[in-house]
Amino acid sequence: MYSSFLKTAIRNVIRHKAFSFLNIAGLTFGLTACILIGLFVQDEMQFDKFIPEGSRIHRVYYQITTEEGTSQVATTPPMFATALQQEFPEVENTLRVLNNPNKELFEVGDTKLYEEGGILAEQNFFEIFPLQLTYGSAVAALEDPNSVVISQELARKYFGDKNPVGKKITISKSPFQVSGVFQNNPKFHLPITYIFPLVAAGIAEERMQSWDWYSFNNYVKLKQGADVEGLQAKFQRYTQPFLQGDETTTYLPLFQPLHDIHLYSADFRYDMAVRGNIIYVKALIVTALFILVIACFNFVNLATAKSLQRAKEVGVRKTIGANRSQLMVQFILETIFLTLISVVLATLFAWLFLPLLNQFTEKQIAFDLLADPMNVLLLLLLAVLVGVLAGFYPALVLSGFQPVKVLKGTFSGDSRPGKTPWLRHGLVVIQFSLSVLLIISAIVVRRQVTYLHSKELGFEKEQIMFFPMRGERMSSNVETFKNELLQSPFIEGVTVGYGFPGDMFGDGMMTVPGKGEQKKATQLMVDHDYIKTLGLELVAGRDFSREMKTDKDHGFIINETAVKELGLGTPEQALGETLLWPTWRNADSVKRGQVIGVVKDFHYKSLYERVEPAVLQIYPQAYWKVAVKIKAAGIEKALPYVKEVWEKFSPEYPLEYNFLDESFDKMYKAEDKLRSLLWIFSGVAIFVGCLGLFGLAAYAAERRTKEIGIRKVLGASSQNIVLLLSGDFVKLVLISILIASPVAWYFMQQWLQDFAYRINISWWIFVVAGLSAIAIALVTVSFHAIRAALRNPVRNLRTE
């Protein structure tokens, strides 16, 4: 019996070519999108899953609550690990990792390259995270302070295929010896290329006992069966006395499961992990489901619209003895046959498009879909599931036809004139609601991303070249170095310091003596040229001046937010106020100074974060980074010059730089990707929806052939007819817009909450989305409407 069903199915597919094409194309597009999204999501979920006993490993992070709300910080004090290890029996082991944000200069023979991705780790690193070691011993590799463990890529780069263990590498002028080679797993949350033993940093013992040096990734591995929640609560109680913020700030240590680090840390600060974003993953899953639903609805719509053509067959089969369930099975099998074709095609397309997806997401997803029988089974299951979902209702309708009625020849299915096909209209409304939802989201995301990239940040980020100082001669001759750079006519300004926009920052407590106000503020360690070079705007007071000798040791310039938060009134009133700052070098020595100027707030961090209070001060001890402002169109001339000067001061180090605007753009990479993915997938959704609409329009035009003929004989113009036929569908799209708009507004509003600085969702976005949906629907539908309208009415009526 099934072979007969299959035969009928194949012949039906061939006979109704247009119908089959629309269905298969729609399903194939939908399924391709789903498979690709599925591969991506699967990859995202696999992070750190390769680590044995990973479910017992947690990272301890901070939740910081202030008046403005809560934020998460990935790095915590070194004492966390010590305390956990010593005081809590549930803990099996702890591990401290210190991120090295700097690029280090690697020298082996003549090869001299900067390498990033370095960390310092305790000796048991490979015990907790057993990455595979190609060479060296997991136990001993991180023992000797002069050793370094490097990744396989680095090993190949510097030593070829030979075993490098025991070989020397000079790293930023200090000698190290390779003690091991590891293979980094692309699904490991730490993007590391080399590991120093923590002891190599030579951190003083008392510093390692600090409760307020938030720089470590503290990992804790629990004993089997230990209660995380309980331990977390105990640990919070235990640390309470050590973690005193000020009156308005509280610090709460929390345990984050290892498997959550990749997807659930998107808004963590100071997090070096390779991070995804669960919101974006969820958005993609939802989009995939939307597309699949739209494709399934296409099928339901087209199949029920075309049911008339199958009605006779149903009648005949029933009179020769078929019962309803046999017919349902037949029709569902036919649908499964179509979905199987689509799944095969979609797998092929997914395979073709995967390299693009990989390139785009910077992943290395392998297409081992068919290598694993489980995946093949999953795909077959998908085909069956989609087939049953899409085929059930049409099968129910078709198999319910009464032979007495359908064989008489007067049967008109569910398309009697005057009767609205509610279901079909309902499904079209749902399809277009989903599409409009995606269009609106795509527009909002696009606008927010554009805003992120183009918002006035309060300083000039263009044409600014940025690099760290290297070498003794450069650091001890900063002024000469600066002056020499300024000799070039293409260089407008040079400033050195620590605390440049988009880079790293230090912070410290500011006190207003007498008022008792105390606030943590970002410390921007600058020279006299910082404000000029970056183009900051002073709203009160003056810039640092070389003539005023007190500026260096007793001058502060603060931003507007600092004025507000320190309770200094207006910027003008703040001028002359005294501030105290405990210096970094020695916590007991306090720098006392006056506010000499106030700068307008500027965004030195990403727009995810609200501008915090910031203090600028002259601090030559932290002249670690250089920013060079280059004149417009002068980059090609200035670059060789900078290089030349660099060579003079630091010949032993190669020059390695970037541009400030580039590093700012990089902050919004995730959003850039989301934007592009949303555009691509809303495009797919709309396209699939339109395939269905196209089929429905063809059917409607066919069904109303006689009506159109009569109307034309009565004097209707072609335009009237086109309007008549398109009007129905436009109405449906309008309803969809009404449904989708508030939903889209709600979800987009939620998404925008993540950004401290964001666009408003203005009304015109809905208008544009709506109009484009209508336009797309009209173009789709009008093809058939126009064809029907232009047909000779006499012929139409004769054939009736």
Site of interaction with another protein (CB under 8 A)? 1, 4, 7-8, 11-12, 15, 312-313, 315-323, 326, 402-404, 407-409
First-residue to last-residue Cα distance in the chain: 37
The token duo for 275 is 């991070």
The three-state secondary structure class of 196 is strand
Q: How far is the CB of 397 from another protein (least distance, A)?
A: 19
Q: Find the largest Cα–Cα distance for the chain.
A: 107
* C-beta closer to another protein: residue 20 or 124: 20
* C-beta closer to another protein: residue 334 or 560: 334
The token duo for 485 is 């750079």
Helix ranges, 88-128 (H): 125-128
* C-beta closer to another protein: residue 402 or 570: 402
Q: Is 326 left (phi over 0), alpha (psi -120 to 50) or beta?
A: alpha
How buried is 622 (Cβ within 10 angstroms: 0-12 exposed, 13-18 middle, 19+ buried)?
middle
Q: How far is the CB of 399 from another protein (least distance, A)?
A: 13
* C-beta closer to another protein: residue 187 or 317: 317
How buried is 414 (Cβ within 10 angstroms: 0-12 exposed, 13-18 middle, 19+ buried)?
middle
CA-based torsion, 79, 84, 88, 93: positive or negative = negative
Contact 236, 244 (CB under 8 A): no
CA-based torsion, 441, 444, 447, 450: positive or negative = negative
Q: Whole-angstrom Cα distance, residue 700 to residue 784?
A: 9
How buried is 199 (Cβ within 10 angstroms: 0-12 exposed, 13-18 middle, 19+ buried)?
middle
DSSP code of residue 654: -
Contact 26, 688 (CB under 8 A): yes
Q: Whole-angstrom Cα distance, residue 800 to residue 796?
A: 7
Q: Are strands 538-541 and 590-599 parallel, antiparallel or unpaired?
A: antiparallel
Q: Whole-angstrom Cα distance, residue 502 to residue 606?
A: 7
Q: How far is the CB of 21 from another protein (least distance, A)?
A: 18
Q: How far is the CB of 437 from another protein (least distance, A)?
A: 40
Q: How many residues belong to the chain?
A: 800
Q: How far is the CB of 25 from another protein (least distance, A)?
A: 22
* C-beta closer to another protein: residue 13 or 169: 13
Contact 669, 490 (CB under 8 A): no
* C-beta closer to another protein: residue 168 or 408: 408
Q: Whole-angstrom Cα distance, residue 69 to residue 267?
A: 13
Report the run of H or E that residue 255 belongs to, with start and end: strand 250-257
Contact 167, 135 (CB under 8 A): no
Q: How far is the CB of 13 from another protein (least distance, A)?
A: 10
Q: How far is the CB of 1 from another protein (least distance, A)?
A: 5
* C-beta closer to another protein: residue 317 or 470: 317
DSSP code of residue 613: P
* C-beta closer to another protein: residue 322 or 599: 322
* C-beta closer to another protein: residue 277 or 335: 335
* C-beta closer to another protein: residue 249 or 326: 326
* C-beta closer to another protein: residue 13 or 98: 13
Q: How far is the CB of 405 from another protein (least distance, A)?
A: 10
Q: How far is the CB of 413 from another protein (least distance, A)?
A: 17
Q: How far is the CB of 26 from another protein (least distance, A)?
A: 23
User: What SS3 string covers 20-52?
Assistant: HHHHHHHHHHHHHHHHHHHHHHHHHHCCCCCCC
Q: How far is the CB of 784 from another protein (least distance, A)?
A: 25
Give the Cβ contact number of residue 660 at 10 Å: 23
Q: How far is the CB of 409 from another protein (least distance, A)?
A: 7
Q: How far is the CB of 323 from another protein (least distance, A)?
A: 6
* C-beta closer to another protein: residue 405 or 549: 405
User: What SS3 string covers 760-792?
Assistant: CCCHHHHHHHHHHHHHHHHHHHHHHHHHHHHCC
Q: How far is the CB of 404 from another protein (least distance, A)?
A: 5
The token duo for 260 is 């959550």
* C-beta closer to another protein: residue 240 or 319: 319
* C-beta closer to another protein: residue 314 or 721: 314
Q: How far is the CB of 330 from another protein (least distance, A)?
A: 10
The token duo for 727 is 């009007």
* C-beta closer to another protein: residue 413 or 497: 413
Residue with tokens 């989708």: 740
* C-beta closer to another protein: residue 403 or 426: 403
* C-beta closer to another protein: residue 1 or 587: 1
Q: Whole-angstrom Cα distance, residue 775 to residue 780?
A: 9
Beta carbons within 8 Å of 349's beta carbon, 6+ residues apart: 28, 32
Q: How far is the CB of 14 from another protein (least distance, A)?
A: 9
Q: How far is the CB of 259 from another protein (least distance, A)?
A: 53
Contact 270, 101 (CB under 8 A): no
User: What SS3 string covers 702-739?
Assistant: HHCHHHHHHHHHCCCCHHHHHHHHHHHHHHHHHHHHHH
Q: Whole-angstrom Cα distance, residue 700 to residue 88?
A: 73
* C-beta closer to another protein: residue 396 or 786: 396
Q: How far is the CB of 315 from another protein (least distance, A)?
A: 7
Give the Cβ contact number of residue 443 at 10 Å: 22
